[in-house]
Amino acid sequence: MKLEGKVALVTGSSQGIGQGIVLRLAEAGADVVINYRSHPEGAEETLAKVQAIGGRCHMAQCPNDQSPIAQGHTIRADLGSVTEVRQLIAESIEHFGKLDILVNNAGIEKHAPFWEVTEADYDAVLNVNLKGVFFATQAFVQHLIGTKRTGKIINISSVHEDLPFPNFAAYCVSKGGMKMLTRNLAIELGSFGITINNVAPGAIETPINTQLLNNPEKLGALLNTIPLGRLGQPQEVASLVVFLASGDADYITGSTFFVDGGLLWNYQEQ
Ligand code: BGC
């Protein structure tokens, strides 16, 4: 298996794309730390699915008598708090002895016209999507440099690291920042053998899109802009993450890979 002996932390993995990534990493043989903020039941579900695969995970309420190779505890942490982010990395390392792969997946978005965005909403989005990523990555890199090991960082960005998204200005700012963070760190971390890349999904069928999925008019309009004519599935994003986390991707750093059904470059004259 591609990732046997590796330990991965996936932030925001109680649902959606994060959960899909955990499952694919576990299938590839990695030990996985499942992180959640407000959905312990989702983290339990992710864990149960990992156990069904036969991977190993890190979760407090793991029924270890039933499955000796799948035990541990999930870690609750709010990625919007630097203190909690640092604790998350430290606790992951403490439990599994090390970390090899960091997937910065946790992300939020808030819908509002630019002129109505509150400071609280701006802070919420930037703190989770950018500040949390910055300091999780910093703590992970300190661990790798301190233990003289290489590692892989994969950021779950968005087509909106490039593409404007009216009514989501703070979200776009956060993803644009993530794009530059990746390019900058590819250079700073290269000599340590640490790679960093972005996976940029388009419209994926996950809870972040619940409102959209329940609005036939909006959904129809969106589908018209996707050349492949459908939303993506979390596992279609996760497969690329597994590749980027593996030795097959050792020479890839500082890049963004789009998983968007063709959405980003779709322009047509009406
Ligand atoms: C956003 C979704 C949006 C999709 C395509 C994603 O980054 O989270 O809300 O539907 O991009 O625009």
> Which domains are seen in the chain, by residue range?
7-260 (3.40.50.720)
Tokens of 134: 């910055």
Residue 54 pLDDT class (50, 70, 90 cuts): low
pLDDT at 70 over 50: no
Average pLDDT over residues 170-188: 98
pLDDT at 57 over 80: no
How many A from CA of 86 to the centre of ligand 1? 28
Average pLDDT over residues 193-219: 95
How many A from CA of 228 to the centre of ligand 1? 16
How many A from CA of 200 to the centre of ligand 1? 10
Residue 53 pLDDT class (50, 70, 90 cuts): confident
pLDDT at 235 over 90: yes
**CB-ligand 1 contact for 174 (6 Å cutoff):** no
- Any idea what DSSP says for residue 204? B
Nearest ligand 1 atom to alpha carbon 212: 10
Closest C-alpha to 258, from 203, 178, 202: 202
pLDDT of residue 69: 46
pLDDT of residue 58: 55
**CB-ligand 1 contact for 172 (6 Å cutoff):** no
User: What is the spatial distance between Cα 240 and Cα 154, in angstroms, rounded to a whole number?
Assistant: 10
pLDDT at 67 over 70: no
pLDDT of residue 269: 86
Helix (H) / strand (E) containing 58: strand 56-58
> Which residues are 10's β-sheet partners?
34, 103
Average pLDDT over residues 12-22: 97
Residue nearest to atom 2 of ligand 1 (CA): 203
Query: Which is higher by pLDDT, 38 or 61?
Result: 38
**Relative orientation angle of helices 132-146 and 82-96, to the nearest 10 degrees:** 40
Lowest mean pLDDT among 136-140, 212-216, 235-239, 266-270: 266-270
Q: Helix, strand, or coil here: 211?
A: helix
pLDDT at 143 over 60: yes
User: What is the spatial distance between Cα 59 and Cα 32, in angstroms, rounded to a whole number?
Assistant: 10
Burial of 203 (0-12, 13-18, 19+ CB in 10 A): buried
